[in-house]
Amino acid sequence: VRNTNENEATSAFTPCILTLIIVLITIESIRFLPLLLPTRKKYLLLRQRILQESISSYD
């Protein structure tokens, strides 16, 4: 009888764990998205700067 109760408990507990994992992943992605976006902007700025320098050096 105990085994069935444990199985029921685990089956009821599994969705909670899944939701917690999903929430954690979303929080982490939301936290890291702003960090990723500025790096992309910086990368674009660096690329522009390198292009400008190469153009000015050709002059």
Q: What does the longest C-alpha to C-alpha distance in the chain come to?
A: 86
The torsion angle over the Cα atoms of residues 51, 53, 57 and 59, rounded to 10 degrees, is: 70
pTM, 2 dp: 0.42
The distance of Cα 36 from the centroid of its chain, to the nearest Å, equals 9
pLDDT tens-digit profile of 9-38?
777 788 889 999 999 999 888 887 777 777
pLDDT of residue 3: 64
pLDDT of residue 46: 85
The pLDDT of residue 53 is above 80: yes
Of 5 and 52, which is predicted with more confidence? 52
